Every structure is written in C-alpha cells, then in structure tokens.
A and B are shown apart, each in its own frame.
Chain A
C-alpha cells in the first residue's frame, strides 16, 4: 500500500494564480483532511470530509475550496493564491473520523510558495 500520496511535492506560484493540490489514499478510509503547517503554529485544519460526498470547514478555510472526488481522492484548490498561503500542506485520512480514537495517516506534504 502506498498509503496517502500527495502531488505535487513542491510548487511556486505568483500572487493571483490558481492551483489544485491532489491527495489520494489507498486504505479504503472514509474520512480525509487537509492541514496547513506554518513554523511555530503546529498543524491547522483547513477542510475535512467525514465521508464521500460531504465536506466541512475547519479552523482556517478562507481562500480554499475542496472536492471529495470519490472515496480515494480529496483535492484542495487555491482560486487566487496569496503570499499568506505560503505553507506546507498535508493531507491525512482515517478509517472513521467519527470515532475520536482513530489514527490519522498523513501524506508527505506539498511545499507551496506564493510570490
């Protein structure tokens, strides 16, 4: 199993450009998450999808949109990138997000720089 995969690994954008970060998992998990990691801030939840067909906002959703394309894939879109969105983005998945003790499995991350 590849686990959670993310593409691309690195990306540089100019202010105002758009892009989509891709995430896929092959563990048949129901719940998927997008986080951003900034120095000294820990991980902050952007959006999550408790199950296929549902998405909900997390702590920092402004400037982002998501699509749960199917059970495997969960994409994050920046419509008009801003320098404040320079960050490392992590996708994660868990078998059943409604169970609070479930382990989340993380992808390797996407390093995004917005100039």
Chain B
C-alpha cells in the first residue's frame, strides 16, 4: 500500500531563506506524487505534481520538487521564502490500486515565515 511521510510538522524560516519541506513515500508501484498548499481557512490547491515525465518538477509561486527514486523522496523547495508562503503543505501519493486516482495524504507541514 502507498503512504507518505512528511518530516517535521512545523518548519520556521526567515524571509528570504531557503524553504525545504521533506516528503518520503512508500509505493509498490511507480508513484504519482503531489504537493498541495492550504492557506489559513481555505481549501487545498495544487502546487505541483510528479507524473514521471521529468524528475524535477516546477510548480506555482516559485516552488519546485525533485523526485529521487533511490531515496524514495519528493522534497519541496523554494530558494527564497516570502511572507505569503506561510501556510500548511501536504504531500500526497496517488493510490495506484483498485481505486486508482485516490490520494493518500501526509500529515502536513506548517510553514512559518519570520520577517
């Protein structure tokens, strides 16, 4: 069965610093991986997704993630944090079993950005 583990429930960075949010996956089939962002009191929206076309995936708002099969990782990065990046971030893997497109979410990482 597929699963994802997000390391660190809370990450704090200074404005302008590198953002690194960690996600490791477990999958018995080639995985499809997603990062979603949730701003306070809102629903989730897609940041980026890995669909096996390219290992380095660029998303919205300057975020990117690299799929590393050898490390079973899909970490999210952004070179320079903005105050507006403060949100909760969820890594997810697509359930490749009988329900195919269902997503399995990690527990989330809350990002704080200090001025």
Contacts and interface: CB of A to CB of B under 8 A. Distances in A.
A100 B95 contact: yes
Nearest to B97: A100
Interface of A is mostly: loop
Interface residues of B, number: 25
Given A42-B90, A103-B46, A106-B45, A98 B105 contact: no
Contacts, number: 66
Contacts of B99: 48, 50, 56, 97
Interface in A29-77: 31, 33, 40-45, 48, 50, 56, 58
Contacts of B101: 31, 94, 96-100, 102
A2 to B, nearest CB: 13
A108 B43 contact: yes
Interface of B: 9, 32, 34, 36, 41-46, 49, 51, 90, 94-96, 99-103, 105-108
Interface of A: 4, 31, 33, 40-45, 48, 50, 56, 58, 90, 92, 94, 96-104, 106-109
